[in-house]
């Protein structure tokens, strides 16, 4: 009891201290005028170490399609004022004009703006993972110490050096003396990757990611590097403003920086240009996905903490989580260099909040695969969850064969299991392209099961509206069904044959008992002509050679079906009953062989006649 009381008192003191910090921070923000807020937004954000529960989100809002003067004079103040209604103590916000290159990409393909696209122009050093010094090289300075030559394209290298000077890194980590220009453009340089002599090359990140085998990437300290921006913020919102004939089209997308994950694209058309900043504020609020850090991950129950949960005063806040809310888990596994080895959504997995106490939550997992979130706990593995945003009207589910997206799974049945009642309802059947439209229901999550024939192939939790398309890469079992149809035919034949053999045996024994040996022998001959074990087993062996699958799991199921059927064949179709009947007939005084037929004299003349 004393230990429990002491721990409780320490927790109270800790919460009290953290609460004081949060109040001081909130009071500081409240004392600022909109002008001072805008001025602070233009200044670099200072790194402040706060507990997760009291650490505000660091947010960058990029605006493309608005000139800098208009952004400063007409947009920043009303947009910040709108966002402060919900996020005054929760966000540390900067609003800036989007870089020209980013604006061009957004106008060309806003839905395609992902981390790889945004950072495609960032310069990186690429080296082969099997290089003798690969383990020693983690930082740019390690490249200088362990590499003899760096292949570059001259104009690209000049641009990178210029950006390094702007960043206060004029020596570019001491790499410049080791630059060796390659004739031609960047594509010619890229081709040198396959050469055994190539150690390290300087390439844009986008080109580096297309190299095979996959290289080891080393980031460089240069100005305007998008990767650095992602490492300095928690959330980045990209806003695109497009002027049309009579109105303005707005597009907004959130990027979770740690997980490098883009959110859904929000679009809206506005007629009154004076409402553009507040409309953008509302769209940014809708696009925002608050974060839970997952600390204790179990097979079914997970515990976590809400980001900035101690700063949330209103349960209806866009940053709040409540009991019954659904979240989507994400994971990032870092290499020693800090670059992610694996990052992204844990597919076909969702969590529901079952308990909440201040910033702490307990969650129950619903997943399509066991141990979806399990794994080694270490400082390089980060697990989190984002609040779901079902912004679309529905979601299309597409099923295709494993490893072959061009082979749709056609005519597969999809059922839904009620989480509360445990009952199953038929949802629909996939079409010619393996697609099925999944509509929204009263419950955000729909627990789907895919069946084909008598087998359940997959368990697929889906939140309709979370995305436009969900693709399941499944092990198709059309070949298994073909084998199952054949095996069922063989098993039915076995059942029929068992019944026929039983009837023959009963009739033969009855005739033996009556002394009607000729009739018994006639029926015994008919029994001998029925399919034997050897014939059925040989037919099955030939058929099994023609029904094969490249998928190991499916092939194992096929082999099991044939093996089980052979066991039935051995048990029920064997020569024992024929031998028993022959013995009984002989013991009763009858013959077990049929006399040879006498030749017809009129049909064939004898030798004497010839």
Would you state the pLDDT for residue 40?
Answer: 44
Would you state the pLDDT for residue 102?
Answer: 87
Give me the DSSP letters along 34-92: HHHHHHHHHSPPPP----GGG-PEEEEEEEESS-HHHIIIIIHHHHHHHHHHHHTTTEE
Single pTM value for the model? 0.73
Give the DSSP H or E segment for 462. Answer: strand 455-462
Would you state the pLDDT for residue 48?
Answer: 56
Do residues 218 and 337 make contact, with C-beta atoms less than 8 angstroms apart? yes
Would you state the pLDDT for residue 603?
Answer: 45
Do residues 250 and 275 make contact, with C-beta atoms less than 8 angstroms apart? no
Would you state the pLDDT for residue 609?
Answer: 40
Do residues 76 and 278 make contact, with C-beta atoms less than 8 angstroms apart? no
Would you state the pLDDT for residue 47?
Answer: 54
Would you state the pLDDT for residue 597?
Answer: 52
List residues bridging with 396 in a β-sheet.
437, 469
Would you state the pLDDT for residue 148?
Answer: 87
594 φ, ψ (degrees, to nearest 5): -90, 135
CA angle, 342 then 343 then 345, to 5°: 125
Spatial distance between the Cα atoms of 224 and 226, rounded to a whole number of angstroms: 6
Would you state the pLDDT for residue 141?
Answer: 86
Tens-place pLDDT, residues 546-583: 888 777 777 887 888 888 888 888 888 878 888 888 88
List residues bridging with 469 in a β-sheet.
396
Do residues 475 and 552 make contact, with C-beta atoms less than 8 angstroms apart? no
Residues of the chain with pLDDT below 70 are 1-48, 375-376, 476-478, 592, 594-610
């Amino acid at each position: 009891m004393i230990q429990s009381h002491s721990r409780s008192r320490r927790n109270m003191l800790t919460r009290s201290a953290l609460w004081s910090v949060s109040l001081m921070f909130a009071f500081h923000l409240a004392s600022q005028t909109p002008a001072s807020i805008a001025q602070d937004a233009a200044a670099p954000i200072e790194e402040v170490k706060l507990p997760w529960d009291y650490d505000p989100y660091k947010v960058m809002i990029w605006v493309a399609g608005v000139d800098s003067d208009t952004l400063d004079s007409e947009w920043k103040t009303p947009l910040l004022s709108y966002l402060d209604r919900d996020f005054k103590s929760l966000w540390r916000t900067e609003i800036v004009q989007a870089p020209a290159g980013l604006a061009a990409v957004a106008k060309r393909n806003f839905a395609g703006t992902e981390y790889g696209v945004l950072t495609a122009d960032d310069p990186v050093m690429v080296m082969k993972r099997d290089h003798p010094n690969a383990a020693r090289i983690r930082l740019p300075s390690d490249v200088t110490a362990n590499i003899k030559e760096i292949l570059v394209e001259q104009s690209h290298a000049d641009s990178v050096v210029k950006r390094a000077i702007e960043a206060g890194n004029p020596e570019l980590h001491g790499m410049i003396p080791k630059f060796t220009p390659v004739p031609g453009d960047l594509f010619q340089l890229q081709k040198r990757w396959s050469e055994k002599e190539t150690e390290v090359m300087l390439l844009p990140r986008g080109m580096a990611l297309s190299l095979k085998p996959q290289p080891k990437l080393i980031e460089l300290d240069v100005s305007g590097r998008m990767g650095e921006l992602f490492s300095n913020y928690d959330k980045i919102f990209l806003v695109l403003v497009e002027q049309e004939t009579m109105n303005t089209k707005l597009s907004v997308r959130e990027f979770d920086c740690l997980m490098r994950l883009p959110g859904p694209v929000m679009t809206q058309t506005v007629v009154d240009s004076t409402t553009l900043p507040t409309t953008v504020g509302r769209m940014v609020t809708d696009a925002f996905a608050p974060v839970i850090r997952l600390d204790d991950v179990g097979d079914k129950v997970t515990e976590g903490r809400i980001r900035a949960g101690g700063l949330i005063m209103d349960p209806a806040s866009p940053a709040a989580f409540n009991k019954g809310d659904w979240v989507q888990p994400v994971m990032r596994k870092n290499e020693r260099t800090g670059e992610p080895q694996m990052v992204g959504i844990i597919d076909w997995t969702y969590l529901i909040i079952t308990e909440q106490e201040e910033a702490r939550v307990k969650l129950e997992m619903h997943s399509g695969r066991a141990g979806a979130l399990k794994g080694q706990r270490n400082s390089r593995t980060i697990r989190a969850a984002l609040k779901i945003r079902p912004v679309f009207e529905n979601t299309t589910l597409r099923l295709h064969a494993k490893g072959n997206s061009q082979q749709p799974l056609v005519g597969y049945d999809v059922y839904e299991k009620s989480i509360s009642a445990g009952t199953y309802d038929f949802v629909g059947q996939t079409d010619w392209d393996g697609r099925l439209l999944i509509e929204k229901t009263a419950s955000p999550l729909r627990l789907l099961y895919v069946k084909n024939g008598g087998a359940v192939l997959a368990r697929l939790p889906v939140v309709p509206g979370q995305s436009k398309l969900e693709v399941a890469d499944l092990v198709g079992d059309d070949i298994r069904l073909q084998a199952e149809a054949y095996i069922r035919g063989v098993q039915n034949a076995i059942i029929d044959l068992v019944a026929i053999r039983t009837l023959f045996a009963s009739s033969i024994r009855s005739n033996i008992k009556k002394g009607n040996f000729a009739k018994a022998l006639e029926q015994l001959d008919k029994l001998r002509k029925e399919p034997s074990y050897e014939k059925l087993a040989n037919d099955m062996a030939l058929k099994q050679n023609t029904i094969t699958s490249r998928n190991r799991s499916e092939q194992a199921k096929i082999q099991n079906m044939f093996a089980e059927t052979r066991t039935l064949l051995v048990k029920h179709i064997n020569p024992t009953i024929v031998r028993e009947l022959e013995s009984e007939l002989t013991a009763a005084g009858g013959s077990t062989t049929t006399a040879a037929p006498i030749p017809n004299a009129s049909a064939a003349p004898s030798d004497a006649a010839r």
